[in-house]
Amino acid sequence: MRLLHIFAALTLLLGSALANAATLNFNGGAVGGCSLPAASTQYTCASLSMGSTDNVVIASGYGVTVNSDVNIGYNQGLSMSGTAALTVNRNLDISNVNPPNLKVTGGSLTAKGGNFNVGAQSGTVIVADISAASVSLGGTPVKVTGNITATGNIDISSGSTLNGAINGGSVTSSSNVSISGSVKASGSVSIGSSSTITGPINGSSITTSSSVTITGDVTAVNSFSLGSGSNLKGATRAPVVSIDAASSQVQGDITASTSLTVGSGSQIKGNLTSPSIDLRASGLLVTGDVKASNSLSIASGNGVKGNVEGGNVTLDSSNAYITGNALVDHITLGWQGRVQQTISCKAYTPSNPCSCVTNNSGWPYTDPMGPKCGPGTQAGPHHFQIDHSGTALTCAPQSVTVTACADAACSARYTGGANVTVSPGGTATQIDSSGVATASVRQYTVGTATLSLTSVPGTSGALVCKRASDASSSCDMSFAATGLTVTPVNHVSATQQAFSISAVQAAPSPTPQACVPLFQNTSKDMKLVCSYGNPASGTLPVLVQGTGAFLPLAQNSSSACSAAGANVKLAFNDKGVATAIMSYADVGQLNLTATYTGSATTGDAGLSMTGSGPVTVVPAAFSVPIIASTQRAGAPVTVSMSALNSAGAVTPNFGNEKLPETALPTLASLVSPSTSEIPVPGQPAKPAIQGGVVFKNGGVASSDMSWPEVGTITIAFNLANTKGYLDANLALAESSVSKQVQFIPHHFMTEIVPQPEAGKPQFPGACVAPLICSGGKYVYSGQPFDLRVTARNAADATTVNYDGRAKALMAPVTLQGLAPADEKIVFPPAAPAGSRLTDGSSAQTTVKEVALDKFILGIATQSIAYRFPGAYAVPAGTIALAPPTGVRFRASSTYASGDVVSSGPAAPRTEGELTVLTGRIMVPNSYGSERLPIRLPVQVQYWNNGWLGNVSDSVTQFGHAGVTLANCGKGLTSGAGACNGILKVQDGMYAFKQGVLPPPKGQLLLLAPGVAGSVDVSASGLPYLPSTLGRAVFGVFKSGPVLYLRELY
């Protein structure tokens, strides 16, 4: 019965609450306190008078303007749809509305001259445009579909989702924000970590935190900074651009009118343009062209896959590289720095083409890996080269190949573009940035014509011709009324490829410009000759099959092409075309020449005609690269690999081309570490393969290829020429992928952690004369300090994949102490022997290794102490005390492969060192009145064939709790030497300054006990600084000088 009463009461209360709730309906009817002109849809209200549970409902098509603040509370509500509009001429705050009561599915919300605030309650969703002087989407994640506009700041809370354009005086977002739409600010834009922006960003200064994703162009008036581990797809423009380390990904051009800085591990796919560009170490790759009018710095281990144009260009040591050409005022090549194509000095002089090069690469100019210099491309080509067959028909145009040459030897192509017209009978032909094009010539009369060429731009050198018919440099081309047209087809080496030979003649009048068959439905013996074009020589012949077996166009099937060639019987059809099959086991550009000489036997005595055509034969694949299974990060990798034909045999001419072809290595897969071992963001690191390989005679002749990280990877090799081998547009069948290769650190680096970084008062102090220390620092025997061990690559950058979460890539890291002057002495000094590394604890447990778990992203910090076998003690021990001893700390690992990674002399000196002292605290004896305190001038000392004050020590300190009082006598004892507690030590810390407790107030203070007595005093709080015993006696008056006064009258 009682429950029934309670239920009735609750029902009554609920009914009362419902009765009190009201709805302000703005749908054309009257609303209290608001006016609505006739035939108008715009309400005007001085204020909104709302009860605690009232709702505001604005119908689509209606607008409400309120001339005072609007603050809608938790139990109140707001509903809008369609084109409804709420305009507040001051502040509009809907942040505390219970989300189910906020039903804004369309329209606009405006706070003119005031702040718009929403988001204090979780789960707020708004579909409307928002406009205000300032906008605060704060407290909890908010979802807004609509444009947001503010003259002041727009503040976006963490986890919010915005679908619409953002336009404010400034824009600030917290982490994990998603914006689908443009972001624009007249002031600054700040994007929090792990946010996603899909749309362009414009602002005065734009800054992002880490792991941000931007899909859209970024334009800043002053500066743009992209946080580490971020992704940007779009063009970037700002005076100052900074891509923070590490591992950011950018797809798009970057233009910085003042400076551009890119941090380590980043990958840029786009062109870079700025007066000053700094590509910081290491593992950074730019795929695109780079222009830096003032300076360009490419730090160790970084690469540019593209062309570079700059003022002062520096490739730091080591392994920085440029795959394309470099046009520079000056370039410095650090150790193993390489420009794979041509370096062009802007102040080019033919007598000294490398005048602007400082070559510290370790490769001389004559080495295939060394720098190659030639003229730049600004003024135009040096000359043009025409490659032609030497013969042509009067009844058909004849194709020729025109190359724009950048230098006299045509060792590089001019890539600036040109328009050429080849005579006789040629039409205008455009040469693009490839530097080569196919043109045509034509002459309607029989005879010899000398090929010529006009061009825009002009050249400084004379026209050069290469005639295939006799491998000469003649520009003469013979035009005949009858002839042979040889049309070979580009194909893969060692495959059988059909090609055609046509025997034609000029048609009789009145159509002499048309070709008609000369031979029809008959067989003829033809002399076929092969010759080498590019490379200019070879070792294997072309095999041709006519109506019989394959015949070598040489002395035999294993000798080079010869001028004698071979006679091949060909069957011509009714169109005058014979089909033959060719096969060539090598690669390169060849010329096939066919010659027919008539005879009385064949009834065409006196008939002589010839024709030729070029053909490019490409490799079928690269062999599986052979790479030793263990390599060092950042160091050149030796590669054994060959270009193969379809039969799997080596093609010996690959790499011997005029502009040598090669294979481009890329990272095929990162096998280990996995993302489960080293989770995101940004890890594990997957930098690009750096450097490349040089082929000669079909195989890799040299390699500066490297990978700057630690891990197990596979490496893919593809033809470097994107237009196919010799621009033939024939792709190799598939990538050639290596077996798994484990990259280990190149070396370790050990460091004594700097004192401010350690934040430890016991950390090594700096040495002051007369104490001379290794590394300029000292510790006491047994005193703990931090040693940092870092895994490094050959460019001396940290390998972040060397991580204790991926132990399969690691080997135990041992620690040793060595004598700096004689590293044969392990754990010095030699006498007394027995020094060791410990953990610095009171137990002094021996330390032999760095725990692998301590390595995080390539760095481990280990707390250790160096302990001598002997220490100060009373009575003295049997082991002699060690003098000041320099110690160098070495880290090393030995892998199962036998490879040793060390911080030792195989690498540049990368080891921390310091001096270890046998130390003690010396507490002196003293005495005085029992009514006065006694101040003890305590010293810190070290052993060097005697105890010396350590004036270098302004670091050590101890507290009053570390002072021991013992062996008390007289009024200070409770019996048997036990102290009765009357004598006290002044509270506080006691800090040494230049080896002593500074007088007077810094000295160890024994408070006046008020009774006579004695006590032994020691500072025993520091285990690595054992203390002497000082005896203090109270109740003994000091004797001293007496001052007498005499009065004279």
* DSSP secondary structure of 668-708: EEEEES-TTTSPSSS-S--PPPBS-EEEETTEEEEE--B--
Residue type, 298: I
What distance in Å separates the CA atoms of residue 490 and residue 729, rounded to the nearest whole number? 9
Q: CA angle 11-14-20, nearest 5°?
A: 140
Neighbouring CB atoms inside 10 A of 761's CB total 13
CATH 1.20.1530 fits 920-1034, yes or no: no
pLDDT value of residue 6: 38
429-to-421, 446, 453, 770 alpha-carbon distances in Å = 6, 25, 11, 82
pLDDT value of residue 1: 42
What CATH number matches the domain at 747-917, 3.40.50, 2.60.40, 3.40.1170, 1.10.1060? 2.60.40
CA atoms within 13 A on the CB side of 437: 20
CA atoms within 13 A on the CB side of 761: 11
Take residue 277 and report the two structure tokens written for it. 């560009």
Cβ-contact 668, 715 below 8 angstroms: yes
DSSP state of 1012: -
pLDDT value of residue 759: 55
Tokens 């009789």, residue? 508
CA atoms within 13 A on the CB side of 839: 10
Take residue 862 and report the two structure tokens written for it. 């280990």
Pairing mode, strands 447-450 and 476-480: antiparallel
Cβ-contact 274, 260 below 8 angstroms: yes
Which phi and psi (to 5°) does residue 549 adopt?
Answer: -85, 170
Taking the CA atoms of 794, 795, 797 and 800 in sequence, report the sign of the dihedral they define.
negative
Distance of CA 386 to the CA centre of its chain: 43
Which phi and psi (to 5°) does residue 727 adopt?
Answer: 60, 25
Cβ-contact 428, 421 below 8 angstroms: yes
- Percent of the chain surpassing pLDDT 70: 94
508-to-283, 446, 606 alpha-carbon distances in Å = 70, 14, 19
What distance in Å separates the CA atoms of residue 774 and residue 787, rounded to the nearest whole number? 15
Omega cis (within 30) before 246: yes
What CATH number matches the domain at 483-618, 2.60.40.10, 2.30.30.60, 1.10.1740.10, 1.10.8.60? 2.60.40.10
**Which H or E run contains 179?**
strand 178-180
pTM: 0.68
What 3-state class would DSSP assign to 758?
helix
What distance in Å separates the CA atoms of residue 709 and residue 730, rounded to the nearest whole number? 34
Q: CA angle 411-589-437, nearest 5°?
A: 65
What 3-state class would DSSP assign to 371?
coil
Pairing mode, strands 34-35 and 63-66: unpaired
What distance in Å separates the CA atoms of residue 765 and residue 1025, rounded to the nearest whole number? 15
* pLDDT under 50: residue ranges of the chain: 1-19
